[in-house]
Structure 1
Amino acid sequence: MPTTLLRNSQIPLHTQITEALRLQIHYAELKAGENFPSERELAERYGVSRMTVRQALRYLRQEGLIYHERGVGTFVSSRKIDVHTRNLSGFSEEMVSLGLAPSSRVLQLKRESAGEKIAGDLDLETGAEVFHLERLRLADDEPMAFESTYLPSALCPELDRIDLTKNSLYKVLSENYNLPIHHAAESLEAAAANRFLAEQLGIKTGSPVLVVHRVVFSESNQPIESAHTTYRADRYRATFYLSKNAL
Protein backbone atom coordinates (compact mmCIF):
# COMPACT_ATOMS: atom_id res chain seq x y z
CA MET A 1 0.00 0.00 0.00
CA PRO A 2 1.72 3.24 -1.08
CA THR A 3 2.47 5.77 1.67
CA THR A 4 0.31 8.86 1.22
CA LEU A 5 1.86 11.92 -0.39
CA LEU A 6 0.25 15.31 -0.97
CA ARG A 7 -0.04 14.95 -4.71
CA ASN A 8 -1.80 18.28 -5.25
CA SER A 9 0.73 20.19 -3.16
CA GLN A 10 3.16 22.73 -4.59
CA ILE A 11 5.88 20.82 -2.76
CA PRO A 12 7.49 18.39 -5.25
CA LEU A 13 6.99 14.70 -4.57
CA HIS A 14 10.72 14.03 -4.30
CA THR A 15 11.00 16.76 -1.64
CA GLN A 16 8.16 15.20 0.35
CA ILE A 17 9.86 11.81 0.16
CA THR A 18 13.18 13.30 1.24
CA GLU A 19 11.56 14.87 4.30
CA ALA A 20 9.69 11.67 5.20
CA LEU A 21 12.89 9.61 5.01
CA ARG A 22 14.86 12.27 6.87
CA LEU A 23 12.39 12.06 9.76
CA GLN A 24 12.58 8.26 9.79
CA ILE A 25 16.37 8.51 10.12
CA HIS A 26 16.12 11.23 12.79
CA TYR A 27 13.74 9.16 14.93
CA ALA A 28 15.78 5.97 14.34
CA GLU A 29 13.03 4.19 12.46
CA LEU A 30 15.84 3.69 9.95
CA LYS A 31 18.88 2.93 12.11
CA ALA A 32 22.55 3.74 11.51
CA GLY A 33 24.39 0.94 9.72
CA GLU A 34 21.23 -0.73 8.47
CA ASN A 35 20.52 -1.41 4.82
CA PHE A 36 18.49 1.42 3.31
CA PRO A 37 15.41 0.48 1.24
CA SER A 38 16.11 0.10 -2.48
CA GLU A 39 14.83 2.49 -5.14
CA ARG A 40 12.31 -0.13 -6.22
CA GLU A 41 11.01 -0.64 -2.67
CA LEU A 42 10.64 3.09 -2.11
CA ALA A 43 8.97 3.62 -5.47
CA GLU A 44 6.37 0.99 -4.56
CA ARG A 45 5.93 2.37 -1.04
CA TYR A 46 5.29 5.93 -2.21
CA GLY A 47 3.60 5.11 -5.50
CA VAL A 48 6.06 7.12 -7.59
CA SER A 49 8.63 6.49 -10.30
CA ARG A 50 12.17 5.38 -9.52
CA MET A 51 13.38 8.65 -11.04
CA THR A 52 11.47 10.56 -8.34
CA VAL A 53 12.96 8.32 -5.64
CA ARG A 54 16.43 8.81 -7.12
CA GLN A 55 16.06 12.59 -6.74
CA ALA A 56 15.05 12.19 -3.09
CA LEU A 57 18.00 9.91 -2.33
CA ARG A 58 20.41 12.33 -3.97
CA TYR A 59 19.51 14.96 -1.35
CA LEU A 60 19.93 12.47 1.50
CA ARG A 61 23.40 11.55 0.23
CA GLN A 62 24.36 15.21 -0.09
CA GLU A 63 23.32 15.72 3.54
CA GLY A 64 25.41 12.74 4.59
CA LEU A 65 22.40 10.84 5.94
CA ILE A 66 22.98 7.81 3.71
CA TYR A 67 25.94 6.41 1.80
CA HIS A 68 26.41 3.89 -0.98
CA GLU A 69 28.99 1.11 -1.20
CA ARG A 70 29.49 -0.19 -4.73
CA GLY A 71 28.39 -3.80 -5.04
CA VAL A 72 27.05 -3.87 -1.48
CA GLY A 73 24.17 -1.44 -1.14
CA THR A 74 23.01 1.78 0.49
CA PHE A 75 23.20 2.30 4.25
CA VAL A 76 22.07 4.78 6.89
CA SER A 77 24.99 6.90 8.10
CA SER A 78 25.89 7.28 11.75
CA ARG A 79 25.02 10.63 13.30
CA LYS A 80 27.77 13.18 12.78
CA ILE A 81 29.23 15.05 15.72
CA ASP A 82 29.55 18.79 15.34
CA VAL A 83 32.83 20.35 16.47
CA HIS A 84 32.22 24.04 17.13
CA THR A 85 35.36 26.09 16.57
CA ARG A 86 34.22 29.02 18.69
CA ASN A 87 34.66 26.92 21.85
CA LEU A 88 38.03 25.79 23.20
CA SER A 89 37.38 22.48 24.85
CA GLY A 90 38.75 18.98 24.91
CA PHE A 91 37.29 15.78 23.54
CA SER A 92 35.79 14.74 26.87
CA GLU A 93 33.97 18.03 27.34
CA GLU A 94 32.67 17.94 23.75
CA MET A 95 31.26 14.43 24.13
CA VAL A 96 29.62 15.12 27.50
CA SER A 97 27.94 18.22 26.05
CA LEU A 98 26.43 15.99 23.34
CA GLY A 99 25.15 13.43 25.82
CA LEU A 100 27.80 10.85 24.90
CA ALA A 101 30.06 8.95 27.30
CA PRO A 102 33.74 9.73 26.56
CA SER A 103 36.58 7.34 27.27
CA SER A 104 40.15 6.81 26.14
CA ARG A 105 42.58 4.02 25.46
CA VAL A 106 46.09 5.17 26.27
CA LEU A 107 48.32 3.61 23.62
CA GLN A 108 51.49 5.17 24.97
CA LEU A 109 52.68 7.86 27.37
CA LYS A 110 56.43 8.26 27.45
CA ARG A 111 59.22 10.81 27.72
CA GLU A 112 60.92 11.80 24.48
CA SER A 113 63.31 14.40 23.13
CA ALA A 114 61.46 17.09 21.20
CA GLY A 115 62.16 17.24 17.50
CA GLU A 116 62.47 20.55 15.68
CA LYS A 117 58.76 20.85 14.83
CA ILE A 118 57.46 20.02 18.32
CA ALA A 119 60.13 22.17 19.95
CA GLY A 120 59.03 25.07 17.76
CA ASP A 121 55.37 24.59 18.68
CA LEU A 122 56.16 24.48 22.40
CA ASP A 123 58.84 27.19 22.40
CA LEU A 124 61.50 24.75 23.59
CA GLU A 125 65.06 23.97 22.63
CA THR A 126 65.37 21.08 20.20
CA GLY A 127 66.01 17.96 22.26
CA ALA A 128 64.17 19.22 25.35
CA GLU A 129 62.25 16.54 27.22
CA VAL A 130 58.53 16.25 26.45
CA PHE A 131 55.77 13.80 27.21
CA HIS A 132 54.36 12.06 24.16
CA LEU A 133 50.81 10.85 24.73
CA GLU A 134 48.89 8.76 22.20
CA ARG A 135 45.24 8.00 22.85
CA LEU A 136 42.32 6.48 21.02
CA ARG A 137 39.29 8.60 21.87
CA LEU A 138 35.91 6.90 22.10
CA ALA A 139 32.30 8.00 22.54
CA ASP A 140 29.84 5.41 23.83
CA ASP A 141 32.68 2.90 23.27
CA GLU A 142 32.93 3.71 19.54
CA PRO A 143 36.34 4.90 18.20
CA MET A 144 36.06 8.52 17.11
CA ALA A 145 39.56 9.98 16.98
CA PHE A 146 43.25 9.20 17.31
CA GLU A 147 45.23 11.79 19.25
CA SER A 148 48.98 12.37 19.38
CA THR A 149 49.92 14.99 21.99
CA TYR A 150 53.19 16.52 23.17
CA LEU A 151 53.60 18.44 26.43
CA PRO A 152 56.71 19.95 28.09
CA SER A 153 57.62 17.58 30.91
CA ALA A 154 58.96 20.50 32.97
CA LEU A 155 55.42 21.92 33.20
CA CYS A 156 53.69 18.68 34.18
CA PRO A 157 56.18 16.41 35.99
CA GLU A 158 54.97 12.89 36.75
CA LEU A 159 52.15 13.16 34.22
CA ASP A 160 52.98 9.57 33.32
CA ARG A 161 51.75 8.48 36.77
CA ILE A 162 48.23 9.81 36.19
CA ASP A 163 45.45 7.67 34.73
CA LEU A 164 44.35 9.40 31.53
CA THR A 165 41.96 6.70 30.37
CA LYS A 166 38.99 8.52 31.88
CA ASN A 167 40.39 11.82 33.13
CA SER A 168 40.32 14.88 30.88
CA LEU A 169 43.87 16.01 30.09
CA TYR A 170 42.85 19.67 30.29
CA LYS A 171 41.25 19.06 33.68
CA VAL A 172 44.44 17.38 34.91
CA LEU A 173 46.58 20.27 33.65
CA SER A 174 44.34 22.78 35.41
CA GLU A 175 43.82 20.98 38.71
CA ASN A 176 47.13 19.17 39.15
CA TYR A 177 49.54 21.66 37.60
CA ASN A 178 47.69 24.99 37.74
CA LEU A 179 47.79 25.24 33.95
CA PRO A 180 44.28 26.14 32.80
CA ILE A 181 44.05 26.43 29.03
CA HIS A 182 43.36 29.94 27.76
CA HIS A 183 43.54 30.03 23.95
CA ALA A 184 44.78 27.99 21.02
CA ALA A 185 45.93 28.17 17.42
CA GLU A 186 44.27 25.50 15.31
CA SER A 187 44.40 24.29 11.71
CA LEU A 188 42.28 21.69 9.94
CA GLU A 189 42.97 19.65 6.82
CA ALA A 190 41.49 16.70 4.98
CA ALA A 191 43.51 13.51 4.59
CA ALA A 192 43.20 9.80 3.89
CA ALA A 193 43.64 7.24 6.67
CA ASN A 194 46.78 5.12 6.45
CA ARG A 195 46.71 1.49 7.55
CA PHE A 196 47.61 2.25 11.18
CA LEU A 197 44.94 4.94 11.59
CA ALA A 198 42.36 2.82 9.79
CA GLU A 199 42.99 -0.08 12.19
CA GLN A 200 42.73 2.20 15.23
CA LEU A 201 39.55 3.94 14.08
CA GLY A 202 37.81 0.90 12.65
CA ILE A 203 37.59 2.28 9.11
CA LYS A 204 38.99 1.26 5.75
CA THR A 205 42.47 2.28 4.63
CA GLY A 206 42.13 5.38 2.46
CA SER A 207 38.91 6.53 4.14
CA PRO A 208 38.63 10.32 4.54
CA VAL A 209 39.65 11.78 7.88
CA LEU A 210 39.89 15.26 9.37
CA VAL A 211 43.24 16.18 10.89
CA VAL A 212 43.29 19.00 13.44
CA HIS A 213 46.60 20.47 14.62
CA ARG A 214 46.24 22.47 17.81
CA VAL A 215 48.75 24.40 19.90
CA VAL A 216 47.29 25.35 23.28
CA PHE A 217 48.48 28.27 25.38
CA SER A 218 48.19 29.17 29.06
CA GLU A 219 46.97 32.51 30.41
CA SER A 220 50.57 33.74 30.31
CA ASN A 221 50.73 32.87 26.59
CA GLN A 222 53.02 29.92 27.23
CA PRO A 223 52.50 26.96 24.86
CA ILE A 224 51.59 23.90 26.89
CA GLU A 225 50.40 21.40 24.30
CA SER A 226 50.97 20.49 20.66
CA ALA A 227 48.39 17.99 19.43
CA HIS A 228 47.46 16.27 16.20
CA THR A 229 44.00 14.73 16.33
CA THR A 230 42.67 12.60 13.49
CA TYR A 231 38.88 12.39 13.38
CA ARG A 232 36.71 10.01 11.39
CA ALA A 233 35.18 12.13 8.64
CA ASP A 234 32.08 9.92 8.62
CA ARG A 235 31.37 10.92 12.24
CA TYR A 236 32.67 14.47 12.48
CA ARG A 237 31.71 17.82 11.04
CA ALA A 238 33.46 21.11 11.83
CA THR A 239 31.25 24.18 12.25
CA PHE A 240 32.83 27.63 12.01
CA TYR A 241 31.36 30.81 13.47
CA LEU A 242 32.51 33.95 11.68
CA SER A 243 31.77 37.63 12.12
CA LYS A 244 32.72 40.64 10.06
CA ASN A 245 35.34 42.86 11.68
CA ALA A 246 34.22 46.36 12.47
CA LEU A 247 35.49 48.89 9.94
Structure 2
Amino acid sequence: MTHVPQSPLKPSAPQGAAFAPDSLVLNRKLPLWYQVSQSLRASILGRTPDATLRLPTEEQLAAHYGVSVLTMRQALKELETEGLISRHRRRGTFIEPRARRVSPVRLLGSIDAIVAQQSGELTTVLDHGPFPVPGDVAEHFPGCAEVVGYRRLRCDEESGEPTNWARNWIHPEVAAGLDPADLDRWPMTKVLRDRVGVRIARITDTVEARLADPVTADLLRVPLLSPILYFTGVTYDESGRVVDVAQIRYRGDRFSFSVTVEAH
Protein backbone atom coordinates (compact mmCIF):
# COMPACT_ATOMS: atom_id res chain seq x y z
CA MET A 1 0.00 0.00 0.00
CA THR A 2 1.22 3.49 -0.80
CA HIS A 3 0.42 6.41 1.45
CA VAL A 4 -0.30 9.47 -0.65
CA PRO A 5 0.33 12.89 0.89
CA GLN A 6 -2.83 14.96 0.60
CA SER A 7 -2.55 18.57 -0.46
CA PRO A 8 -5.26 21.08 0.45
CA LEU A 9 -7.64 21.81 -2.39
CA LYS A 10 -7.82 25.56 -2.89
CA PRO A 11 -9.51 26.60 -6.11
CA SER A 12 -8.87 30.07 -7.39
CA ALA A 13 -11.23 32.81 -6.29
CA PRO A 14 -13.21 33.13 -9.56
CA GLN A 15 -14.23 29.49 -9.34
CA GLY A 16 -15.60 29.69 -5.83
CA ALA A 17 -15.36 27.03 -3.14
CA ALA A 18 -14.94 23.46 -4.40
CA PHE A 19 -16.05 20.12 -3.00
CA ALA A 20 -13.31 18.48 -0.91
CA PRO A 21 -13.10 14.69 -1.46
CA ASP A 22 -11.88 12.22 1.14
CA SER A 23 -8.27 11.04 1.23
CA LEU A 24 -7.22 7.70 -0.27
CA VAL A 25 -4.45 5.18 0.33
CA LEU A 26 -3.55 3.80 -3.10
CA ASN A 27 -2.87 0.15 -3.79
CA ARG A 28 -0.37 0.01 -6.66
CA LYS A 29 -1.53 -3.49 -7.61
CA LEU A 30 -4.93 -2.18 -8.73
CA PRO A 31 -5.81 0.25 -11.55
CA LEU A 32 -5.31 3.73 -10.15
CA TRP A 33 -8.17 5.28 -12.11
CA TYR A 34 -10.57 2.72 -10.64
CA GLN A 35 -9.46 3.35 -7.06
CA VAL A 36 -9.71 7.10 -7.53
CA SER A 37 -13.15 6.88 -9.15
CA GLN A 38 -14.50 4.69 -6.35
CA SER A 39 -13.06 6.95 -3.63
CA LEU A 40 -14.49 10.06 -5.27
CA ARG A 41 -17.80 8.25 -5.83
CA ALA A 42 -18.05 7.42 -2.11
CA SER A 43 -17.22 11.05 -1.23
CA ILE A 44 -19.96 12.30 -3.55
CA LEU A 45 -22.60 9.87 -2.26
CA GLY A 46 -21.62 10.54 1.34
CA ARG A 47 -21.51 14.33 1.07
CA THR A 48 -23.34 16.54 3.53
CA PRO A 49 -26.52 18.26 2.35
CA ASP A 50 -24.85 21.68 2.35
CA ALA A 51 -21.75 20.59 0.38
CA THR A 52 -20.96 22.56 -2.75
CA LEU A 53 -21.56 20.85 -6.09
CA ARG A 54 -18.40 22.17 -7.75
CA LEU A 55 -15.47 19.78 -7.97
CA PRO A 56 -11.86 20.97 -7.95
CA THR A 57 -10.05 21.10 -11.27
CA GLU A 58 -8.53 17.99 -12.83
CA GLU A 59 -5.07 19.21 -11.85
CA GLN A 60 -6.10 19.82 -8.24
CA LEU A 61 -7.79 16.43 -7.95
CA ALA A 62 -4.77 14.71 -9.50
CA ALA A 63 -2.49 16.38 -6.95
CA HIS A 64 -4.88 15.47 -4.11
CA TYR A 65 -4.85 11.77 -5.03
CA GLY A 66 -1.21 11.67 -6.15
CA VAL A 67 -1.98 10.49 -9.70
CA SER A 68 -1.47 11.85 -13.19
CA VAL A 69 -3.99 14.15 -14.85
CA LEU A 70 -4.61 11.43 -17.45
CA THR A 71 -5.53 8.97 -14.69
CA MET A 72 -7.78 11.58 -13.10
CA ARG A 73 -9.57 12.18 -16.39
CA GLN A 74 -10.25 8.47 -16.75
CA ALA A 75 -11.69 8.35 -13.23
CA LEU A 76 -13.92 11.38 -13.90
CA LYS A 77 -15.12 9.85 -17.16
CA GLU A 78 -16.32 6.81 -15.21
CA LEU A 79 -18.31 9.01 -12.82
CA GLU A 80 -19.73 11.01 -15.71
CA THR A 81 -20.92 7.79 -17.35
CA GLU A 82 -22.69 6.87 -14.09
CA GLY A 83 -24.45 10.22 -14.11
CA LEU A 84 -22.88 11.38 -10.84
CA ILE A 85 -21.09 14.38 -12.35
CA SER A 86 -21.38 16.66 -15.37
CA ARG A 87 -18.46 18.38 -17.10
CA HIS A 88 -18.73 21.76 -18.80
CA ARG A 89 -16.00 23.39 -20.85
CA ARG A 90 -14.73 26.62 -19.27
CA ARG A 91 -17.17 26.24 -16.35
CA GLY A 92 -15.81 23.16 -14.61
CA THR A 93 -17.03 19.83 -13.25
CA PHE A 94 -20.09 19.59 -11.02
CA ILE A 95 -21.83 16.95 -8.92
CA GLU A 96 -25.27 16.22 -10.31
CA PRO A 97 -27.81 17.54 -7.78
CA ARG A 98 -29.83 14.33 -8.18
CA ALA A 99 -26.84 12.17 -7.18
CA ARG A 100 -28.05 10.27 -4.13
CA ARG A 101 -26.57 11.36 -0.84
CA VAL A 102 -25.83 8.72 1.82
CA SER A 103 -25.43 10.14 5.31
CA PRO A 104 -24.87 8.29 8.59
CA VAL A 105 -28.17 7.55 10.33
CA ARG A 106 -29.00 6.32 13.79
CA LEU A 107 -31.81 3.81 14.08
CA LEU A 108 -34.24 3.39 16.95
CA GLY A 109 -36.77 0.58 17.35
CA SER A 110 -37.93 -2.28 19.50
CA ILE A 111 -35.77 -5.33 20.17
CA ASP A 112 -38.35 -7.46 18.33
CA ALA A 113 -38.11 -5.19 15.29
CA ILE A 114 -34.35 -5.59 15.24
CA VAL A 115 -34.65 -9.38 15.51
CA ALA A 116 -37.14 -9.38 12.62
CA GLN A 117 -34.81 -7.23 10.52
CA GLN A 118 -31.93 -9.66 11.08
CA SER A 119 -33.98 -12.76 10.23
CA GLY A 120 -34.82 -14.37 6.89
CA GLU A 121 -31.37 -15.14 5.51
CA LEU A 122 -29.12 -18.18 5.35
CA THR A 123 -26.32 -17.78 7.88
CA THR A 124 -22.98 -19.56 8.08
CA VAL A 125 -20.67 -19.21 11.07
CA LEU A 126 -17.21 -18.81 9.51
CA ASP A 127 -15.17 -18.83 12.70
CA HIS A 128 -15.30 -17.98 16.39
CA GLY A 129 -12.95 -17.83 19.35
CA PRO A 130 -11.24 -15.59 21.89
CA PHE A 131 -9.35 -12.51 20.66
CA PRO A 132 -7.45 -9.67 22.31
CA VAL A 133 -9.85 -6.74 22.52
CA PRO A 134 -9.61 -4.86 19.17
CA GLY A 135 -8.70 -1.21 19.47
CA ASP A 136 -11.83 0.04 17.74
CA VAL A 137 -14.12 -1.59 20.34
CA ALA A 138 -11.88 -1.31 23.43
CA GLU A 139 -13.94 1.56 24.87
CA HIS A 140 -16.91 -0.81 25.14
CA PHE A 141 -15.07 -3.51 27.09
CA PRO A 142 -13.17 -1.80 29.93
CA GLY A 143 -11.27 -4.23 32.11
CA CYS A 144 -11.43 -7.06 29.55
CA ALA A 145 -8.21 -8.46 28.12
CA GLU A 146 -10.12 -10.64 25.65
CA VAL A 147 -13.49 -10.82 23.93
CA VAL A 148 -15.04 -13.68 21.97
CA GLY A 149 -15.41 -13.00 18.26
CA TYR A 150 -17.91 -14.58 15.87
CA ARG A 151 -17.71 -14.10 12.10
CA ARG A 152 -20.81 -14.92 10.06
CA LEU A 153 -21.77 -14.74 6.39
CA ARG A 154 -25.40 -14.17 5.39
CA CYS A 155 -26.80 -15.11 1.98
CA ASP A 156 -30.11 -14.66 0.18
CA GLU A 157 -32.29 -17.74 0.71
CA GLU A 158 -33.40 -17.97 -2.93
CA SER A 159 -30.28 -17.11 -4.90
CA GLY A 160 -27.60 -18.03 -2.36
CA GLU A 161 -25.91 -14.70 -3.14
CA PRO A 162 -23.94 -13.16 -0.23
CA THR A 163 -25.66 -10.07 1.13
CA ASN A 164 -23.67 -9.14 4.24
CA TRP A 165 -21.11 -10.42 6.70
CA ALA A 166 -20.96 -9.76 10.41
CA ARG A 167 -18.30 -9.68 13.08
CA ASN A 168 -19.67 -9.77 16.63
CA TRP A 169 -17.50 -9.08 19.66
CA ILE A 170 -19.13 -10.65 22.74
CA HIS A 171 -18.31 -10.03 26.40
CA PRO A 172 -16.51 -13.18 27.61
CA GLU A 173 -18.91 -13.77 30.52
CA VAL A 174 -21.84 -13.72 28.10
CA ALA A 175 -20.09 -15.83 25.46
CA ALA A 176 -19.63 -18.62 28.00
CA GLY A 177 -23.34 -19.40 27.68
CA LEU A 178 -23.57 -19.07 23.90
CA ASP A 179 -23.82 -22.11 21.61
CA PRO A 180 -22.34 -21.21 18.16
CA ALA A 181 -24.74 -23.71 16.53
CA ASP A 182 -27.63 -21.42 17.49
CA LEU A 183 -26.20 -18.72 15.22
CA ASP A 184 -26.83 -20.89 12.16
CA ARG A 185 -30.56 -20.61 12.89
CA TRP A 186 -31.17 -17.32 14.67
CA PRO A 187 -29.84 -13.74 14.74
CA MET A 188 -27.34 -12.85 17.44
CA THR A 189 -29.80 -10.55 19.23
CA LYS A 190 -32.35 -13.35 19.54
CA VAL A 191 -29.72 -15.84 20.74
CA LEU A 192 -28.46 -13.43 23.41
CA ARG A 193 -31.95 -12.64 24.64
CA ASP A 194 -33.79 -15.94 24.29
CA ARG A 195 -31.04 -18.58 24.53
CA VAL A 196 -28.40 -17.00 26.76
CA GLY A 197 -30.89 -15.06 28.86
CA VAL A 198 -29.37 -11.58 28.54
CA ARG A 199 -31.81 -8.89 29.67
CA ILE A 200 -31.22 -6.43 26.85
CA ALA A 201 -31.92 -2.81 27.79
CA ARG A 202 -31.04 -1.01 24.57
CA ILE A 203 -29.18 -1.24 21.27
CA THR A 204 -27.47 1.74 19.65
CA ASP A 205 -27.15 1.39 15.87
CA THR A 206 -25.11 3.47 13.44
CA VAL A 207 -24.91 3.14 9.65
CA GLU A 208 -22.38 4.86 7.41
CA ALA A 209 -20.98 4.62 3.89
CA ARG A 210 -17.60 2.91 3.40
CA LEU A 211 -15.52 1.23 0.69
CA ALA A 212 -15.14 -2.54 0.48
CA ASP A 213 -11.85 -3.77 1.94
CA PRO A 214 -10.21 -6.95 0.54
CA VAL A 215 -11.96 -9.28 3.04
CA THR A 216 -15.36 -7.72 2.38
CA ALA A 217 -14.87 -7.75 -1.39
CA ASP A 218 -14.00 -11.45 -1.27
CA LEU A 219 -16.84 -12.51 1.04
CA LEU A 220 -19.57 -10.43 -0.62
CA ARG A 221 -18.28 -10.93 -4.19
CA VAL A 222 -18.12 -7.22 -4.94
CA PRO A 223 -15.31 -5.14 -6.48
CA LEU A 224 -12.60 -3.91 -4.14
CA LEU A 225 -13.32 -0.35 -2.96
CA SER A 226 -16.94 -0.52 -4.13
CA PRO A 227 -19.44 1.27 -1.84
CA ILE A 228 -20.88 -0.71 1.08
CA LEU A 229 -23.03 0.09 4.10
CA TYR A 230 -21.18 -0.35 7.39
CA PHE A 231 -23.41 -1.02 10.38
CA THR A 232 -22.35 -0.89 14.01
CA GLY A 233 -24.70 -2.11 16.74
CA VAL A 234 -23.81 -1.83 20.44
CA THR A 235 -25.99 -3.92 22.76
CA TYR A 236 -26.31 -3.06 26.49
CA ASP A 237 -27.80 -5.15 29.27
CA GLU A 238 -29.87 -3.76 32.15
CA SER A 239 -26.75 -2.99 34.21
CA GLY A 240 -25.41 -0.78 31.40
CA ARG A 241 -22.70 -3.28 30.45
CA VAL A 242 -21.94 -3.75 26.76
CA VAL A 243 -22.54 -7.42 25.91
CA ASP A 244 -22.15 -7.29 22.11
CA VAL A 245 -20.63 -5.02 19.49
CA ALA A 246 -21.77 -6.01 16.00
CA GLN A 247 -19.90 -4.77 12.91
CA ILE A 248 -21.80 -5.66 9.73
CA ARG A 249 -20.85 -4.93 6.10
CA TYR A 250 -23.82 -4.83 3.71
CA ARG A 251 -23.63 -4.84 -0.06
CA GLY A 252 -24.42 -1.31 -1.16
CA ASP A 253 -26.48 -2.51 -4.13
CA ARG A 254 -28.76 -4.69 -2.03
CA PHE A 255 -29.72 -2.61 1.00
CA SER A 256 -31.20 0.70 2.02
CA PHE A 257 -32.13 1.84 5.51
CA SER A 258 -35.16 3.86 6.56
CA VAL A 259 -36.14 5.40 9.87
CA THR A 260 -39.73 5.88 11.07
CA VAL A 261 -40.41 8.49 13.74
CA GLU A 262 -43.77 8.37 15.49
CA ALA A 263 -45.30 11.19 17.52
CA HIS A 264 -46.72 10.23 20.91
TM-score when normalising by structure 1: 0.56
Look up the equivalent residue of 1:111 and give its one-letter code: P
Stretches of 4+ aligned residues off by more than 4 angstroms: 88-92
1:6-26 CA deviation, whole Å, 9 max, x = no partner? xxxxxxxxxxxxxxxxxxxxx
Partner SS, residue 195 of structure 2: helix
Amino acid at match of 1:143: P
Q: Distance in 1 between matches of 2:259 and 2:180?
A: 37
**1:110 is the counterpart of 2:133:** no
Q: Following TM superposition, by how much is the alpha carbon of 1:237 offset from its aligned partner in structure 2, in angstroms?
A: 0.6
Deviations 1:69-107 (A, max 9, x none): 9xxxxxxxxxxxxx99332558762155xxxx3121111
Corresponding residue for 2:147? 130
Contact 1:146 1:231 in 2 (8 A): yes
Q: Corresponding residue for 1:51?
A: none
**Cα displacement string for residues 176-235 of structure 1 (whole angstroms, at most 9, x for unaligned residues):** 321043312222211111222111112111211010112111233221111111111111
C-alpha RMSD of matched pairs (Å):
3.0
Q: Secondary structure at the match of 1:241?
A: coil
Name the aligned partner's letter for residue 133 of structure 1: Y
Partner residue of 1:87? Answer: 109
State the match for 2:210 in structure 1: 191
Q: How many residues align?
A: 160
Counterpart position of 2:226: 207
Q: In structure 2, give the amino acid aligned to 1:238.
A: F
Structure 1 unaligned runs (5+)? 1-66, 70-82
Indicate which of 179, 192, 208 corresponds to 1:173: 192
Given that 2:129 and 2:150 are in contact with CA atoms closer than 8 Å, whether structure 1 keeps it comes out as yes
- Which residue in 2 is equivalent to 1:55? none
Shift of 1:162: 3.6
In structure 2, do the counterparts of structure 1 residues 155 and 222 end up closer, same or farther at CA, with 3 Å as the change threshold?
same
How far did 1:242 drift?
4.2
Contact 1:119 1:125 in 2 (8 A): no
The aligned amino acid for 1:177 is V
1:1-247 pair list within 5 angstroms: 85-89=107-111, 93-94=116-117, 96=119, 101-122=120-141, 124-127=142-145, 129-140=146-157, 141-159=160-178, 162-242=181-261
Normalized per residue, the structure richer in strand is 1
Q: Distance in 1 between matches of 2:259 and 2:148?
A: 31
- Residue deviations 1:4-58, cap 9 Å, x none? xxxxxxxxxxxxxxxxxxxxxxxxxxxxxxxxxxxxxxxxxxxxxxxxxxxxxxx
Give the CA deviation at 1:139.
Answer: 2.7
SS where residue 239 of structure 1 aligns? coil
CA distance in 2, matches of 1:118, 1:193: 20
- Separation (CA, whole Å) in 1 of partners of 2:118 and 2:166: 15
1:78 corresponds in structure 2 to none
Q: Which moved more, 1:111-120 or 1:208-217?
A: 111-120
| Alpha-carbon separation, structure 2, partners of 1:171 and 1:183 | 13
